[in-house]
Amino acid sequence: MKITQRQKAYEYIRERITSGGIATGERVSASALAREIGVSHIPVREAISQLQSEGLIVHRAHQGAFVKGASRDELVDVIEVRTLLESHAAASAARNASARKIEELDARWTTLCDSAEAITRAALPDIQDALKQFLNADLEFHMTILRSAGNRRVIQVIQELRVMTYMFGYRTNDPLLLSDPAAFVARNLRVHGDIYEAVRRRDAKAAKKAMAFHMRQAGKTVLTRFDRLTRGDLKDDTPAPSALPVGKVKSEPAATIEAVVS
């Protein structure tokens, strides 16, 4: 399907916001973005309007559009809703996944394991690149489960919530990653492995429980970093890998956006 100028503008602006290219609280200039993207002002304004309706941009009277910030309470709400929906989706996937989806999940699990192993082998300067690959593999693993659940509306809602978690959590990299990569990998593979095995053996109850545990742990990491940044204990100056590969949007026709922090 041919991408429209509006969709091109939407994907570009969304990626700039979620990767930190346009910071929280920064003004979103339609004219500047139109020049960067190489489109007219109209599709850019339409894209900004769409992002505003999704809660990523706010409009201030007589001032313009700005990237939305969030309070801790708002972040907690987003995490709670994500936990409920993703846990339900994992249970549905265990019940409904076709044989083809199980094969796809097998492939995603193998890729996730391989990318985790790459983190343990990476030298410190290369950790960010290795992390980017791991996060992308993590995203594909979760998206396969969501698609296997079969509810397109849930997919769209979760994707929107993932963007908000990623933004509001200030692109949360787990501090354990840099201090002890082996422990980071072991912890993440353990929780993902529990989800994978439960879905594969068609155990809806176990899949729901494993996903809920995973989401609670991820939520704690997000909130911990948010609190440290708020207090000024931590500076958010590490270039974070984008959790929203723009090219992957086209592969998910039921959804308008794609995202991850998990």
pLDDT of the residue at 176: 58
**Residue 158 DSSP SS3:** helix
31 class by beta-carbon count within 10 Å (0-12 exposed, 13-18 middle, 19+ buried): exposed
Give Cβ neighbours of residue 136 (< 8 Å, ≥ 6 apart).
115, 241, 245
- How do residues 215-237 score in pLDDT, each as one tens digit? 998 888 888 877 877 776 655 54
| Predicted pLDDT of residue 247 | 30
- Cα–Cα distance measured from residue 88 to residue 203, given in angstroms and rounded to the nearest whole number: 13
Residue 228's pLDDT is 77
* pLDDT at 204 > cutoff 60: yes
Give pLDDT tens digits for 21-65. 787 788 999 999 999 999 999 999 999 998 888 778 889 988 999
Q: What is the pLDDT of residue 83?
A: 93
Single out the residue of 56, 78, 83, 51 nearest to residue 67, CA to CA. Answer: 56
DSSP type of residue 249: G
Three-state secondary-structure class, residue 38: coil
Distances (CA, A) of 154 to 143, 171, 203, 250: 11, 23, 20, 18
**In this predicted model, which residue has the larger pLDDT, 125 or 214?**
214
Q: Nearest Cα to 178, choosing from 119, 115, 94?
A: 119
To which residue do tokens 């155990």 refer? 203
pLDDT of residue 157: 85
Q: Mind listing the domains of the chain with CATH numbers?
A: 5-67 (1.10.10.10), 72-251 (1.20.120.530)
pLDDT above 70 (res 101): yes
Record the pTM. 0.71
Residue 108 in this model has a pLDDT that exceeds 70: yes
What pLDDT shows up at residue 188? 87
How confident is the model over 85-96, as pLDDT tens digits? 999 999 999 999
Residue 238 has pLDDT above 80, yes or no: no
Give the pLDDT confidence of 130-188 residue by residue, as tens digits. Answer: 877 888 898 899 999 999 998 888 888 887 777 767 666 544 455 555 567 778 788 88
**What is the band of 78 on the pLDDT scale with cuts at 50, 70, 90?**
confident
Cβ(88)–Cβ(81) under 8 Å?
no
pLDDT at 168: 61
